[in-house]
Each structure stands twice: as structure tokens, then as C-alpha cells.
Structure 1
Amino acid sequence: MMKPLAVELIVASLFALSANAAEQPLTWEACVQLTAKNNPSLAVASANVEVAASAISIERSVLFPQLSANASTMLSGPGDKTTRYGASLGVEQLLFSGGGKRAAVRSARAGLESQLAVLSGSRSDVTYALRNAFINVLYAKQRVELLAEIEARRADNLELVELRYEGGREHKGSVASSQASLFDAQVQGVQSARSVSVNRQILARRMGQASLPVDTVVEGTLAQVSPPEETDFETIAREAPAYLESQASLARADAQLSVARSGYWPEVSLVGAAGRYGDENSFDEDYWSTGVKLSFPIWSGGQTRHEVSKAKASLRAADADEARVLDERVRLLVLAKQRFVDAVDNVEVQAKYAEAAEIRAQISRQQYEGGLLSFENWIVIEDDLISKNEQLLNARRSALTAEAAWWQVTGYEAFSQTNPRLGDKQ
């Protein structure tokens, strides 16, 4: 009897552990960790960084000695046909290229800086999208709770109106109106529950997952947030991914101009070779050679001149684009902070309205029960209380959404512990 009991206890324990694991709450930090592992946009941007890093090594490779091995077989005739064999090892070292090869390395390095900025921008965009999805799940959950309270309040109101109707102190229209209000609250509750499911699906997709397990609890609150008090907009703008990318583009355009100009200069290389050749009877004839190879462009049909002209125009465009991006970043920062501050202020305003509406509703209910207030006046105050509570919930979500927009404009990414744009821990 002891063995089956022990097995049952072990199985029960395993089921309990599995249930506890499944019920682990999904916090914001957990969402960030899952997104860092699974989000396809981040995977693409990271792969492009690796491609750009490899491009540097490719461009640098021409600056090192180039070794080659050659083998040959030659049949000659007519008459006595002879077969000659040869094998050699050659080396070439570039000495001078007009700066073109080193400029190509600089261009590749600028390309890497550009891809790093793109990766940072992608992380910032994913943070914004993930944060919004997370906020919407919390909002949908709290709205379900709020609508449950509203439904209970509408039910109490209907009961009160029906009692007064049965006592001859209220007419049938008031009962019908109260019934409609209760039905509306019930329908909104069902719709809000459906919204929770939809927003959970969106959150899962933002994290790179197909869906969330049904028993996964998304944990968090629409907490109060605070905007930064003092902001150096230009400094933050110069550290934003979009501006860093424009700087990398400018550096790349400058390097490409050097590459184009190198077409006017000769290439000088040190070359050497050593080998052995012979026929079928003997393969013992050695040879070696060394020297300098000079390649000087004389006429290319104007190609070099046009390439230089094109590179100059690209450099001017990149320089102007850097200034444009800086101005645009500063403008977006100013607007984002204004909206952030306004949204936080609105939470305080709506909280005051909701508090006042609660007090009014308590007083008006007592007056209605005592026959001192008509149904028409009382229900307006009741509706106003419900409206103010919904507006407060919406204001809290808007404040968090405005904070997420501020994060995005500053270039904040949730995948590092410290915000490099703002210098504070989020």
C-alpha cells in the first residue's frame, strides 16, 4: 500500500509544481526578457550588424599580403610532343593606392556604426510597441474590474428604482431607463473581457510568441509616472539613434569621396614569386622573381571624374541630412515632453473630478431615497460619476502611453538596465 501512495504523492507534487510554474505572473521585466530572445525585428537588426562587421574585415583584407599558389600543365607540339609541368607560389603586398583602400575600410566602419544605430533604433521602436501592448493589457484588465463595479452599481440603482416604482413614487419610464443602463453595463463588460483576450494576443506577438497560455497572469498597474523636470533637448537629440545613424552616413559619404578620388592615383604593389617547373623526366628547374608593380590610370572615359562629382553631391546631402535630423529630433523631443507633461497633469485633473463626482453621487443618492431629488436629476449625477471614473482610467493609460512615446523619441531601449539617453534607471 505504501508504494502506490508514494507514487501518487510524487505525481501530485509534479502537477503542483507545473501549475505553479504556469501561474508565474508575466511582469514588464519578464516581457522584456522574452522579447529580447524572440522578437524577429531585433534578430534582423542584430544580423545586419554582424554583416556590417564582416564587411570591415573584407575591406581590410586587401591591406595584407595576398598569397596565391599556382599549378600548370602544358602540352606542346607538333613533332615530338612534350608535357611541361609547373608549380609556383606568389605574393603581392599593396604599398599605395591613393588612399582608396583605407578609405574603403573607413566606409565599412561607418557602415557598422550605421547598423549599430539602426539596431538601437529598432530596440527603441520594439520597446515602444511592447510597452504600449503591455499597457493596453493592464488597461483592459482594469476596465473589466471597473465595469464590474459599474454593473453592480447599475443593478443597485435598478433595485432602488423598482422599489420606488412599486411604492408608487416612480414611473415606469425610470425603471426602463435603469434597465437599459444595466444592460449597457453588462454588454460593455462582455466587450471589455473580449478586449483583454485581443490585447493579450497582441502582447504575445510583440514578444515573438504565438500566444500566451490561458493561465498566464499579466501583472502590473497603471501607476503614476513623472516627466523629467529639466531637459537638454539638443544633447538628447545628438544621442538618439536617428541622429547617430545620420552621423554614420556622413562619415561614410566622406570616406566614399576619398575612394572616388583615389581613382586619379596609381596603385603600387610589391610582388614576388617562386616556383619549379619541368617535364615528365625531371622537375627540378627552380625560378624566382621579385619587383614592383605600378598601375596608373590614364583614361577611363570620365568615369573617375563623374564618381568624384557623385561622391561630393552625396557628401553635401549627408551633411544637410545630419542638420535636418538634429532639428527634427529636437522638435519631436519638445512635442513629446509637452504631451507627456500634459498627460500627467490630466491624470491629476481627472482624479479631482472623480473624487468630486463620488461625493456628489453619495449625496444625491441619499436625496433620491428621501424623495428630495427627481430621478432625472439623480441619474445625471450617477452617469457623471461613471463617466468620470472611466475618464480617470483613460487618463492613466494616456500618461503611460505618453511616457512610452517619450522613451521612443529619446531612443530609450528597455533591453539594457540603464537608459543611455537620460542617464537614469527605468
Structure 2
Amino acid sequence: MSLLGCIAKGNHIPLSLPLLSFCISVSLCLCGGFFSTVKAAEVRTLTLDQALEIAAARNRDILKAREFYKQVQGKYMEERSAALPQITLTGQLSRQQNDSQKILTGGFIPTRQDTGGAELGISQVVYSWGKVGAAIRAADIGFRTADERLRMARQGTYRDVSTAFYDILLARELHAISRQNLEQKSRHLDEAQRKYTAGVATDYDILAAEVSVQNARPDLIRTGNQLRSTKDRLRFILALEEDVDVVGALELTPAGLPSYEESLAIARKHRPELEELRRRKEIAGELVTIANADDKPRLDIKGGYGWRRLAAGDARGDGQDWNVGLYLSFPFFDGLKTRGKVAQAESELHALEIDEAKQADAISLEIRDALNHVREAQEIVTALTGTVEQAERLLIMAEKGYELGVKIRLEVDDAELNLNQAKGNLALARRDYLAALVNLNWTTGVLGEGNVPASSP
């Protein structure tokens, strides 16, 4: 009897060992696939503060900035080594054979010599025309440059995370509006069918309601895809593998804004881009000193202590070997190579001064734009306050009038359109206001330093 026949008749199924193993394997595979699906469906829900905390620990731009700090630390150790004693240990063991000495000495001098020895040498810079000191100072300034670069990466990441967070909240609001619109039009279709059954509506009313329902579906699909895209963007910024969602609302309390002059003063003091350029200018000044010292006198002290052994024929000898000396080097003419390096270093310094002025001008413009965007969003939020409630009342009145036969279908559609536009515009204005505040804090260089606006849970 076949396996299916046994199952159909409820009989006991005789299972051989290979068949039993196959069934167990299939069951395990199915269970594994089920649990994998459950695991893949896990979603991590975050508040804004939690998202910022994760970004500080996992964002790749921040991690790269931290690696740059390690590079600067290595550079500082490299430059500092020039001011420390250089200690070396050398050893040698050699054999020399020269048969030509037989002709000159008549065999009195052995033609083979064995030599060996070891020496511990030390050298120390005494004076380098400021070159070593300038290199150490430049490397030390590099630490502060790395700090500013880390601040730059952190603030840029906080801005991106906050904006992505608010984008998710906006996409969720728009998706909810689209879903409510579809549900509303579906109710209108049900009402038209009820009236048609009662004999107070025509085929035109049903067809118009069906078309409205179908026209509402693409917007629901579009906003749903937008919601998924914004979540994926936040997940990318946070460098997370699992799916993410957020908890919060686009709620805000408009507050007073600083003046342009106050914001500009804060930015000039705190913007990491300006601070980094100032540090790079200091480094460039030290590089001029380093380049200028290449054709200047240099004084070093060198010494060594060791042991030597010499064997020539039957004669052998060994003993201590030491030396110490003060060495002066003065490359007073190098074909104007040093002058060329100095000219390059000075030009780099002047270029950084120009970059600093250019960056300051760009920041002043960014501050004006940021303040204007905050004011614009704030004014739109104020203008739309109460509009949603009014649009909802108009829709209720239009639907009631349509049921009583004193309103036409077009008036109901207009009321629905006005309500959806009011809800969408208000949600967009709130998102723009929150994002504009984040951008203003980033523009002034204080984002992530106790001035990050948070949404209300």
C-alpha cells in the first residue's frame, strides 16, 4: 500500500530507517525556515535619544574619525622620537683572505684575518635650529585637529539621524492619512450601494464611488514605500543589520530664536570646521619653521661602547672599544632646495588663511538660511493651527448634507481633499520645523552638545 493510501485510511505507516531520517530532516528544515523568518521579522523600535546613542557608537563616519585620532597619535610618537636618544646595538663577525700579501711581505703577515665584535651606540640631537621642537608642536596640535574632526563627524551624524527620524514620523503621518482617506472612500462606496438598494441612488453614484476608492489606493502604496525607505535610511546611518522603527510624534513647542548676530558669534566659536582650520594654520606655521631649518647648522652627540676581537694567523687579541664625539653638520648650500620647501610651506599657510575666511563667509550664509527656514516653518505651523479641526467639521457637514440630499457628491470630495491637504501640510510643517531647528544647531556648531531637540513620545 502506498504512503498516501495509508494516511487516507488511517492505518499505521511502516517507516524504514532511511525514510524516518528523511522525514526528520524535512521537519528540521521547515522549523529552521520558520524560526529564520521570525528572526528576520524582528524590528528594533527606537526613540530619538536611543538612535543618537547608537549612532555615536556605530556610525561609520564617527568610527573613521576615531581612527584618524589614532593616526595622529602615531604621528606624534613618530615626531617626538626625534627628541629622544637613538640607541642601536650592532654586531659583526667576518673572515678576510688576501693571498696577494704573500708577495709583498714574503709570508710574514698572515693572509687570513678573522674579526668580530659588538657595539652599543647612542646618538642625541643637541641643537637643530628649532626643527625638532617645531615637529613635536605640530604633532601635538594634530591631536586638537583630530578632536575637531571627531566633533565634525559626530555633529553631521546627529543631524542626519535626527532628520531621518523626523522623516519617518512624517512618512508615518502621510501613510496614516492615505489609509484614512481610503477607508473614508470605502465607506462612501458602501453608502452609495445602500442608497442604490433603497432606490435613491443611481449607477453613476456607485461608479463614481468605486473610481474614488481605486484612485485612493496608489497614494497608500506610495506612502507605504516612502515609510519603508525612510526606515532603511535610518538603519543605514546607524549601521544596524536588523530593521528599525521609531516611537515619537511630530509635536513641538515653538520658542524664541536667537538673532543672526548671536548665532554667528556662537558659530565662530564652536563650529568644528573653523576650529580645524585654525589648528591646521598653526601646524602650517610649524611646517615653515621645519622647512627653514633644513639648511641651518645641526649639532649631535654620538657615542658607542663595545668589544672587538681580531685573529690573524697565530696572533689573537680582543678588548674594549668605545668612542664619543660632538658632530656638527651645516648644509649651507643645497641648490636652493630648502628655499623652495619654505616657499611651498608659506604658500600652504596663506591658502589656509584664505580657506578660513571662505569658510567663515559660508557659515554666515548658512546661519541666515537656517534662521529663515526655522521662521518659515514656524509661521506655517502657526498658520495651519486649527485648520485641521475646521476641515474635519466641514467634511462632517458635507457628508451629513449628502446623506440628507442637500449636498452633492462634489462638495463631499472637496471637503475630503481639503482635510487631507490640511493634515499633510501640518505634518510637513512640523517636520520641517523640527528639522530646521536641528540644522540651526548644527550650523552654530552646538548640535550634540546638549542642544538636540527631541520629539515628544
Provide the TM-score with structure 2 as the length reference: 0.79
**Is the 8 Å Cα contact of residues 434 and 453 (structure 2) preserved in structure 1?**
no
Tell me whether 343-352 or 323-332 shows the greater mean CA deviation.
343-352
Partner of 2:129: 98
Matches within 5 A, 1:45-64: 45-64=65-84
Deviation at 1:174, TM superposition (A): 4.4
Specify whether residues 139 and 75 from structure 1 end up closer, same or farther in structure 2 by C-alpha distance, changes over 3 A only. Answer: same
**Is the 8 Å Cα contact of residues 250 and 322 (structure 1) preserved in structure 2?**
no
- For residues 422 and 75 of structure 2, what CA distance do their matches in structure 1 show? 59
Partner of 2:359: 325
| Larger of the two Rg values belongs to structure | 2
Deviation at 1:198, TM superposition (A): 2.8
Partner of 1:235: 265
CA deviations over 1:388-418 (Å, ceiling 9, x no partner)? 112112222222222332233233454xxx3
Q: Does 1:411 align with 2:445?
A: yes
Instruction: Percent identity, please.
Output: 21
Aligned equivalent of 2:118, options 78, 87, 104: 87
Tell me the secondary structure at the aligned position of residue 386 of structure 2.
helix
**Is the 8 Å Cα contact of residues 227 and 341 (structure 1) preserved in structure 2?**
no
Specify whether residues 283 and 394 from structure 1 end up closer, same or farther in structure 2 by C-alpha distance, changes over 3 A only. Answer: farther
Partner of 2:319: 285
Q: How many residues align?
A: 399
Letter in 1 for 2:71: V
- For residues 316 and 258 of structure 2, what CA distance do their matches in structure 1 show? 86
Letter in 2 for 1:235: A
- For residues 309 and 407 of structure 2, what CA distance do their matches in structure 1 show? 120
Aligned equivalent of 2:426, options 388, 392, 395: 392
CA deviations over 1:4-44 (Å, ceiling 9, x no partner)? xxxxxxxxxxx9xx99xx67732222222322332222211
Deviation at 1:161, TM superposition (A): 4.2
Partner of 1:5: none
Deviation at 1:209, TM superposition (A): 1.8
Matches within 5 A, 1:12-411: 25-78=45-98, 79=101, 80=110, 81-163=112-194, 172-212=203-243, 217-224=245-252, 226=254, 229-231=257-259, 232-238=262-268, 239-279=270-310, 284-411=318-445
Tell me whether 176-185 or 301-310 shows the greater mean CA deviation.
176-185
Letter in 2 for 1:56: Y
Specify whether residues 76 and 23 from structure 1 end up closer, same or farther in structure 2 by C-alpha distance, changes over 3 A only. Answer: closer
CA deviations over 1:328-371 (Å, ceiling 9, x no partner)? 11221221122022112212222332232223223333333333
- For residues 328 and 191 of structure 1, what CA distance do their matches in structure 2 show? 37
**Is the 8 Å Cα contact of residues 75 and 82 (structure 1) preserved in structure 2?**
yes
**Is the 8 Å Cα contact of residues 205 and 211 (structure 1) preserved in structure 2?**
no
- For residues 351 and 74 of structure 1, what CA distance do their matches in structure 2 show? 95
- For residues 36 and 341 of structure 1, what CA distance do their matches in structure 2 show? 30
Specify whether residues 425 and 378 from structure 1 end up closer, same or farther in structure 2 by C-alpha distance, changes over 3 A only. Answer: closer
- For residues 413 and 365 of structure 1, what CA distance do their matches in structure 2 show? 48
Alpha carbon RMSD of aligned pairs, Å? 2.7
Deviation at 1:63, TM superposition (A): 0.4
Letter in 1 for 2:386: K
Partner of 1:12: none
- For residues 219 and 131 of structure 1, what CA distance do their matches in structure 2 show? 13
- For residues 283 and 64 of structure 1, what CA distance do their matches in structure 2 show? 36
Deviation at 1:61, TM superposition (A): 0.8
Letter in 2 for 1:31: A
**Is the 8 Å Cα contact of residues 237 and 326 (structure 1) preserved in structure 2?**
no
Tell me the secondary structure at the aligned position of residue 363 of structure 2.
helix
Which residues of structure 2 form unaligned runs of 5+?
A: 1-34, 102-109
Provide the TM-score with structure 1 as the length reference: 0.85
